[in-house]
Amino acid sequence: MNQTIKIALIQQSCSADRNENQAKSILKIKEASKNGAKLVVLQELHSSLYFCQSEDTKKFDLGETIPGPSTELFGKVAKEMGVVLVLSLFEKRAKGLYHNTAAVIENDGSLAGIYRKMHIPDDPGFYEKFYFTPGDIGFKPVQTSLGKLGVLVCWDQWYPEAARIMALKGAELLIYPTAIGWDPKDSMDEKKRQLEAWITIQRSHAIANGIPLLAVNRVGLESDDSGSEILFWGNSFAAGAQGEFLAQAAHQEETVLYADLNLERTEEVRRIWPFLRDRRIDFYQDVANRYLER
């Protein structure tokens, strides 16, 4: 494994035109590769608008199989540019059975592995429980030529358990493709609290586990026929093994964000902060309960 890996996060806006979105992603992947990136991560559901603002059976037409058209298209790009790619797809697994799935493409164009989003949100404007069956393959890192990637998706980022299990399974890096934004009607104070919380909890996963973390979010205002609107807040970032910022994007601009990751630093950080040594696994079984007071 290389000591230092240059990574790139593609923070982009999307339209209703799938081909246009994909062409834009590919252009940016190529740009990132030319700038030295060996790992490129795309945002959640990067080939479409964030279609979960309302519940509409017709939107299931956006689903695709894995392997399928996207892994083929982006597989060619990965192979041509020699980069490992993390995609985020609307997976059609069977008739009427869909997942929100990350696909990791090796730098030879092959499919290294997938992760099916485990935690599914459902809130006004984020009706994901209608579209996405919860993942059933658990929290398993994907082995690649660059290391073991702990790929999780969006809502998973609020759950320390997900990051922890990935780390215990040897993840050397946490990666979160995301689609999160503000309700334009919220107050400035509430918007600030939400953005800070989103950044803070992800940095905490890097800290708790002593591994770097990448979060990639979309930008742009997307309006739905239902009247719902989300202003995606960007702020894609890379954090090091102590949770420190390595790079951070702004909230409204399309960006190719770069960072240099040294995966060997985990050993050094875990020597001074040996959190894994002192875990009280004799008392942690309680974590696997819904609630314990009543």
Question: Considering only residues 36, 82, 96, 274, which one is a binding residue for a second copy as defined by CB under 8 A?
Answer: 274
Question: Considering only residues 1, 2, 110, 169, which one is a binding residue for a second copy as defined by CB under 8 A?
Answer: 169
Cα–chain center distance at 117: 10
32: tokens are 């990132």
Stretch that binds a second copy, among 26-34, 68-76, 257-265, 274-282 (CB under 8 A): 274-282
Per DSSP, the three-state class of 150 is: strand
- C-alpha–C-alpha distance, residues 288 and 165, integer Å: 12
Residues from 199 through 238 that contact a second copy (CB under 8 A): 200-201, 203-205, 207-208
> By C-alpha distance, which of 263, 255, 212 is closest to 236?
255
Q: Is the sign of the CA dihedral 235, 238, 241, 242 positive or negative?
A: negative
Q: Which of 44, 91, 106, 172 is catalytic?
A: 44
Stretch that binds a second copy, among 33-41, 78-86, 154-162, 253-261 (CB under 8 A): 154-162
Q: What number of other Cβ atoms are within 10 A of residue 208's Cβ?
A: 16
Stretch that binds a second copy, among 33-41, 173-181, 188-196, 217-225 (CB under 8 A): 188-196
Burial 221-232 (b: 16+ CB within 10 A, else e): ebebeeebbbbb
123 lies in the site for a second copy, by CB under 8 A: yes
Question: Considering only residues 55, 108, 244, 268, which one is a binding residue for a second copy as defined by CB under 8 A?
Answer: 244
C-beta closer to a second copy: residue 74 or 155:
155
Strands 4-11 and 39-42: parallel
Q: How far is the CB of 263 from a second copy (least distance, A)?
A: 15
273 lies in the site for a second copy, by CB under 8 A: yes
* Alpha helices for the chain (secondary structure H): 18-34, 69-81, 128-131, 160-168, 188-209, 265-272
154 catalytic residue (yes or no): yes
Q: How far is the CB of 32 from a second copy (least distance, A)?
A: 27
Beta bridge partners of 223: 229
Stretch that binds a second copy, among 47-55, 56-64, 74-82, 159-167 (CB under 8 A): 159-167
92 catalytic residue (yes or no): no
187 lies in the site for a second copy, by CB under 8 A: no
Q: What number of other Cβ atoms are within 10 A of residue 160's Cβ?
A: 14
DSSP-derived secondary structure letter, 217: E
94 lies in the site for a second copy, by CB under 8 A: no
Q: Which of 59, 92, 117, 148 is catalytic?
A: 117
Scan for tokens 């996060």, then name that residue: 9
Question: Considering only residues 24, 164, 218, 251, which one is a binding residue for a second copy as defined by CB under 8 A?
Answer: 164
155 contact partners, CB below 8 Å, separation of at least 6: 117, 119, 120, 121, 128
C-beta closer to a second copy: residue 200 or 223:
200
Reduced DSSP (H G I as helix, E B as strand, rest coil) percent helix, strand, coil of the chain, to 5 = 30, 30, 40
Stretch that binds a second copy, among 26-34, 70-78, 132-140, 211-219 (CB under 8 A): 132-140
C-beta closer to a second copy: residue 74 or 115:
115
- C-alpha–C-alpha distance, residues 103 and 106, integer Å: 10
Residues belonging to the active site: 44, 117, 154
- Where does this chain bind a second copy (CB under 8 A)? 118-121, 123, 134, 138-139, 155, 158-162, 164-165, 168-170, 193-194, 196-197, 200-201, 203-205, 207-208, 242-244, 272-276, 278-281, 283-294
